[in-house]
Chain A
């Protein structure tokens, strides 16, 4: 069966970012259709932990986007909080060595100057915040702005709230372009959807979608595993992670990086991350990666060595070479907008991204400077260079 539909904007991708784009575009008065080749939250949204973080971000454009997004998350939570398991739990970053304390404090000082609330926590106060933390850790920093949602629920509820028409199981095969280059909609495996604007919210597959509009955007996958424990009563209050996580996030190695990130969930299981590997779209289980996660988590929380891990899941963070997302209009294809490449921070950065895209769609001045996120900032490699 073939459909031919018309609307103001097609959002490609029914993950968290697509949902946020749909919500803010609809609030701006646009008629929105969301298409996805799979189900809602079937990609990276359904494979993460739902972190809404400022703590891991150095001053710069991404931190600006995170601060905007955290404010928007708090507004969204006032209405949808319980449905999406929003928890303003705060983050606690702990140092494992005295040198790491110094690094962490210097990082926090710089963040504070950029508008982040960061409270130094001396060694003898760590257990007031997290009673089950390992003994003898030299100190940490508390970030009360950090929060958490259940990402699949958040995407589903915000999509529903947007009132957008949702077409799952529709893979976009082409972004339709007029003779003058302007975007005219999308061709899907189940018919065309006509619109003067298309938003690329295809996450880790955003580079592929861009190529279907004949533009270059080098989004690449960075694999991560999450280890899930048996359900427990509330035992871990904050999102707790080791200071070296920040270095890993910014790291550029292809080989396995693993630093412990530990948090409880509303449903009871504790989620343990975070590994990073550049191995393409390889989904096979890496025992080495999940062992590293378990070792890191039990180092921070020794009681976890007595807790059973019941399963693991993997996902692919969408990264761009400079670790910044692509947000805003694409001058190479009038009518094409991008909202992808958020690496491991996509859930947290979704509302800000959605708002900025909606502002761009309606011709409003964006609330943040979009220049650092320009989608055309990566030159297409020449055949010579690719060789």
Chain B
């Protein structure tokens, strides 16, 4: 009989965060995947360049914005991770000036 952990592990896939591989489990949001990997900050503020990660965790506050597959401004707490996702720290608006 397999334990839930090993069943999960069998279904694990990989995404990248700022170029390095991070293991993800199915059904987890990008925020959950990053937290599970010990990453708590993935955006810098527009004015002061201060670090940001999850604040409300339920899609309301727009603090956890991150760039996913080249598209900035995604809410990490809502977007499910998918195999091969390229996740990058978002600096400022994430749009080129």
Contacts and interface: CB of A to CB of B under 8 A. Distances in A.
B17 interface: no
B95 A233 contact: yes
* Interface residues of chain A: helix, strand, loop or mixed (majority): loop
Nearest to A235: B95
B5 interface: no
B80 interface: no
Interface string B65-84: 10000001100000000000
B91 to A, nearest CB: 11
Interface in B36-52: 46
Contacts of B46: 231, 268
A233 B73 contact: no
B96 A233 contact: yes
A308 B93 contact: no
A124 interface: no
A308 B72 CA distance: 10
A254 interface: no
Interface in A219-261: 230-234
A31 B1 CA distance: 82
Given A230-B73, A231-B46, A268 B93 contact: yes
Interface residues of B, number: 10
Contacts of B73: 230-231, 308, 310
Contact of A232 (B62, B65, B93): B93
B75 to A, nearest CB: 9
A233 B62 contact: no
Interface residues on A, range: under 10
Nearest to A311: B62
Interface in A254-275: 268
A310 B93 CA distance: 13
A214 B92 CA distance: 54
A16 to B, nearest CB: 26
Given A230-B73, A231-B46, A310 B96 contact: no
A234 B96 CA distance: 10
Interface string B9-40: 00000000000000000000000000000000
Interface in A308-331: 308, 310
Contact of A231 (B93, B96, B97): B93
B62 A310 contact: yes
A231 B97 CA distance: 12
Nearest to A269: B93
Contacts of B65: 230
A230 B65 CA distance: 10
A67 B96 CA distance: 38
A233 B92 CA distance: 9
Contacts of B97: 233-234
A82 to B, nearest CB: 14
A310 B96 CA distance: 19
Contacts of A310: 62, 73
A232 B96 CA distance: 9
Interface string A274-305: 00000000000000000000000000000000
Contacts of B62: 230, 310
A230 B96 CA distance: 14
A66 to B, nearest CB: 33
A171 B19 CA distance: 58
A230 B73 CA distance: 7
20 contacts: A230-B62, A230-B65, A230-B73, A230-B93, A231-B46, A231-B73, A231-B93, A232-B93, A232-B95, A233-B92, A233-B93, A233-B95, A233-B96, A233-B97, A234-B97, A268-B46, A268-B93, A308-B73, A310-B62, A310-B73
- 10 closest residue pairs by CB, A with B: A230-B73, A233-B97, A231-B93, A233-B95, A232-B95, A308-B73, A232-B93, A233-B93, A310-B62, A268-B93
Interface of A: 230-234, 268, 308, 310
Interface of B: 46, 62, 65, 72-73, 92-93, 95-97
